[in-house]
Every structure is written in C-alpha cells, then in structure tokens.
Amino acid sequence: MRRAAVLGLPVRHSLSPVLHRTAYTALGLTGWRYDAIECPADGLAGFVAGLGPEWAGLSLTMPLKRVVFPLLDSVSDLAVQVGAANTVVFRDGLRHGANTDVYGIVQALAEAGVSRPRSATILGGGATAASALGALREIGLDEAALVVRDPARAGETLEVADRLGVRVRTQTFDKFDAEVDLLISTLPSGAADGFAGLAKRAGAVFDVVYSPWPTVLVSGARTVIGGFSMLLHQAARQVELMTGSTIAPVEEMRRAGEAELAARGE
C-alpha cells in the first residue's frame, strides 16, 4: 500500500481526493490510497513524525504551506522563493518540499488565454498570494499591486516579492485600483464578494475559489478564470512528483473533478 493525503483545516470538502484517486486509476497504480485529513498548524509536526514508509506524499493547504518548512530536509528553489510549500514528497527516507501552486496558476491563466498581462492586482497577502506573485513572474510581469487589509502584516509576502524581483505597490481594501489587465483574488470564499463591481473594470478576473462556483466576484467579468483549473493543474504536477509518473492524466482528472462538482450542485 502506498499512501498520500491532503492536509489542512478545513479539508472536509476538498476536491483533491477525487483528482488524485482518478489519476491513480488512469495510471494503473493499484494499491495507492489518497485521503483528506484535517490538521491544524500546531499538529503538523506530530503528524509528519508519525508517518511510516508507506507514505509517498502530502498535499498541503492552509494553514500549513509556510509552517511545514522546518520539517523538510530539502526544498525546491521555487518553494523557497515564494515561501510556500504545498507539496511534500517522501523519498529515500527524506522529506522534500515543493510548490505546485505557481504551476497551477500559470496553466490556469494559459487555458483562459491570459499569457502576458500588462498589469495585475492581487487581493490578499497570504501563501497563495505569494504563489500568485511567482506565477506573474513566470509569465513575464515584474510589477504588481498587492491589496491587503493591513500593509503592516504583509511583510512575508513583500519579502517574497523582493526574492522574486517583482516590484509591489501595496494598497488597502478600502481603496485600490482594479482597472488592470488581470485581477487575482486569493481571498477565502465570500470575502471578495463586495468587490464585484470593481472587478468589472479588470480585463480578466481570476478567483482561486472553486466551490461554490461561480463566485460573486466574477459575475460580469469579461474574462473569468476559476480556481478549479488551478487546483487541477497543481494536483496533476503533485501526482507526477509523488508517483514518479512523467505525465499525469489531466483530462481524466478534469472530467472527474467537474463531475464531482456537478454532483455537489456547484
């Protein structure tokens, strides 16, 4: 038996198990199991310490993407730069951290035809916002606006911007410029609803939320990118890292994920 799981709080309704299990079936990987396990930040160290040799990897969501670093034996350069590791791979008795969120964001933008925006604004200042900065750099943008409630608490993400070489203008929620080529919301479900009117001024709106969908934020937007596409592609890269497969079955995973969302009425 080989095991993997998504950890976070909450993860009860995570779509990751459907995506990963579908990939295992499509790849003919029998004896693989993938679960969703609720784990608070202060419980991660103990959980990881108790894992046996059957474990292949972990998918991490909030609030674990930053607190995992002290538990890792090695970390990819990209994860170090963005200060967030959403993936742990167990190999040869060691724990390797990686970031597949950046890849997921880049692929989601490409699917929507958004490849080279001239300007961008990011709502939120957490780990996903840091990955969004990494994605913007990947597609050639070297400056962006970061919208946060309290600029004094955005220090970690501003440090990420410095490491990436992305110039950041910090703005606050009560007054920010949404007239940009790309508006990215990394806020929790419902938290960006009040900005739907402003979002209509953006060329494209990317909301990382995938359930419920569509969100109020994207209503009326000219070009819409949803969180499901990001989740799909970051999960596909995780499957490759954890199983050693060269190509994940993206389309099979997409169909399974869409079917599950439809069954949930979302």
65 catalytic? Reply is: yes
- Return d(Cα 119, Cα 208) in angstroms, integer: 18
**How much is the pLDDT for 266?**
66
Helices 101-111, 227-243: axis angle to 10 degrees equals 130
Name the stretches of the chain with pLDDT < 70.
266
Enumerate domains of the chain plus CATH numbers.
Answer: 2-98+229-264 (3.40.50.10860), 102-225 (3.40.50.720)
**How much is the pLDDT for 152?**
85
Q: How far is CA 217 from CA 47, 185, 188, in A?
A: 36, 9, 12
Selecting among 3, 65, 95, 137, the annotated active-site residue is 65
pLDDT digit string, tens, across residues 116-153: 899 999 999 998 999 999 999 999 999 999 999 998 88
**How much is the pLDDT for 224?**
97
Query: In sequence order, what are the beta bridge partners of 15?
Result: none
Model confidence, pTM: 0.95
3: helix, strand or coil? strand
